[in-house]
Amino acid sequence: MIHGYPLTEEYFAPELGVVTQWFERSRLEFHPNNPPQFRVLQGHVSREILAILQAGGTGGTATPYPTYTPYPTYTPYPTYTPYPTYTPYPTPTTGPTPTPPSATSLTLGATHTTFLIGADPDGAGDLTAGTNTTQFRISATVIIGGSPAAYKWVRFTLSPSSGDSISPVGPVFTVQTSSTGVATIGPITFTDTGSPGGTLFVSACVDQDLDSTCDSSPAPASTTLYFLRAPTPPLGSVIETTCASSGFIIDECVPGVGGSPPSGQPAGKDATLTLTLNGPASSGPKLPVIAVVTDASPPAGITANASLTSCPASGDGTDVQQKLTSYDGTGHVASWDIWVCGIVNDGTNDSFDVAVYWDVDNNGSWTPGVDVQIGSSQSFTILDN
């Protein structure tokens, strides 16, 4: 024990000016104004004793330390208020990562993907058609590194359906791309000599070294062209049973005629017109075709007013409507519903005509000189009695 046993409790010694505690061999003092490591010190006991002895042992009063200046009253920080518990945003739900367009590619394009045998495929253009033939062009666009690839050799291979043929015979055509990266072959004539209608399988690849082997990049491309043929006749019509009489549409089915309200079918269609084309047993062919009504609005003379949609409350109805052919298991068909919207009720039969065209420019409307009529117009007569 360095200090020995304590002789007093700790107390404030006014003569020293500090809190102190006496031990057998020393005195400890608390100096709160000192740095933390020097706040508890041993008193200068030996120096004080020596001063007493030098003063003649008269027990002179020791020089006290300065009056202790206490620290200011401690003011605690305000009670900590925690932030509310963090609620994370829900993880966003995203769709599949989009696949960016390939920087290197070869794509095929053609005059059309479905053709009508015997019909001019570009109207006033330089392509032609005969009784069993039709012409087309096909092109390949080469993109390498995101830019059109000029002067690349492209090898086209054309394979017609069984019994059919192409001219020039080919079947391989090698053409160099232009400065815009496009290689085009044609006009090519497809001749339908097998079963009515046919197909042409087209493949293309880059063959830059002309070794008759496709380069590995860009990947080859392929497509199928379809050719449909119109039978004789291609159009047929059916009058709704409740509106039919000896092949005529009865006037009871015309709104505002033959009764009030009409006793027939004013709220429903009066007839159906159907186009049927021959071709391959495939759902691939989709020929855009339009029906065009020739009528009068309002009805005049012996010309009725008709529509390809339900009759409007006033004005003319729908006189042009586009459809796409579809394969029904036996042929490639498109059909239109027909409404009679008005006649001249004078006891004389009225009529209107409907023609069907291949919509060559695929604009949904009739373009004279471009769109090709299929078969003859169908005439519908309303029995006015």
Contact 52, 61 (CB under 8 A): no
Contact 175, 204 (CB under 8 A): no
Q: For residue 2, what is the DSSP state?
A: -
SS (H, E, C) 92-123: CCCCCCCCCCCCCEEEEEECCCEEECCCCCCC
Q: Which has the closest alpha carbon to 342: 377, 309, 307?
A: 307
Encode pLDDT of 247-277 as tens digits: 999 998 888 764 444 555 566 899 999 999 9
- What pLDDT, on a 0 to 100 scale, did the predictor assign at position 95? 61
Residue 53, SS3?
A: helix
Say which CATH superfamily domain 105-228 falls into: Immunoglobulins (2.60.40.10)
- What pLDDT, on a 0 to 100 scale, did the predictor assign at position 44? 85
Could you tell me the two tokens for 165?
């043929």
- pTM for the whole thing? 0.71
Residues near 90 by Cβ (< 8 Å), separated by ≥ 6?
none
Instruction: Count Cβ atoms below 10 Å from residue 171 Cβ, excluding itself.
Output: 15
- What pLDDT, on a 0 to 100 scale, did the predictor assign at position 124? 80
**What residue ranges do the domains of the chain occupy?**
1-77, 105-228, 235-383
Q: How far apart are CA 228 and CA 196, in angstroms?
A: 7
Q: φ and ψ at 228, to 5 degrees? A: -110, 155
- What pLDDT, on a 0 to 100 scale, did the predictor assign at position 344? 92
* Cα atoms in the Cβ-side hemisphere of radius 13 Å centred on 198: 23
Could you tell me the two tokens for 112?
């059309």
- What pLDDT, on a 0 to 100 scale, did the predictor assign at position 75? 62
- What pLDDT, on a 0 to 100 scale, did the predictor assign at position 66? 47
Domains 105-228 and 235-383 agree in fold: yes
- What pLDDT, on a 0 to 100 scale, did the predictor assign at position 258? 47
The structure tokens 């400065």 sit at 179
CATH class of 235-383: mainly beta
Contact 320, 330 (CB under 8 A): no
- Biggest CA pair distance of the chain: 162
- What pLDDT, on a 0 to 100 scale, did the predictor assign at position 163? 95
- What pLDDT, on a 0 to 100 scale, did the predictor assign at position 314? 84
- What pLDDT, on a 0 to 100 scale, did the predictor assign at position 17? 86
Q: How far apart are CA 249 and CA 133, in angstroms?
A: 39
Report the C-alpha dihedral over residues 368, 371, 373, 378, rounded to 10 degrees.
-70
CA geometry: angle 230, 232, 234, nearest 5 deg: 55
Report the C-alpha dihedral over residues 287, 293, 294, 296, rounded to 10 degrees.
-160
Q: How far apart are CA 233 and CA 335, in angstroms?
A: 15
- What pLDDT, on a 0 to 100 scale, did the predictor assign at position 57? 62
Looking at the chain, how many residues does it have?
385
The CA–CA distances, whole Å, from 43 to 23, 40, 46, 270 equal 11, 9, 9, 125
- What pLDDT, on a 0 to 100 scale, did the predictor assign at position 260? 41
Q: How far apart are the first and last CA of the chain?
A: 141
Encode pLDDT of 336-373 as tens digits: 999 999 999 899 999 999 999 999 999 999 999 999 99
DSSP lists the bridge partners of residue 42 as 28
Q: For residue 243, what is the DSSP state?
A: G
Residue ranges, the chain, pLDDT below 70: 1, 57-77, 89-90, 92-102, 257-267
- What pLDDT, on a 0 to 100 scale, did the predictor assign at position 248? 96
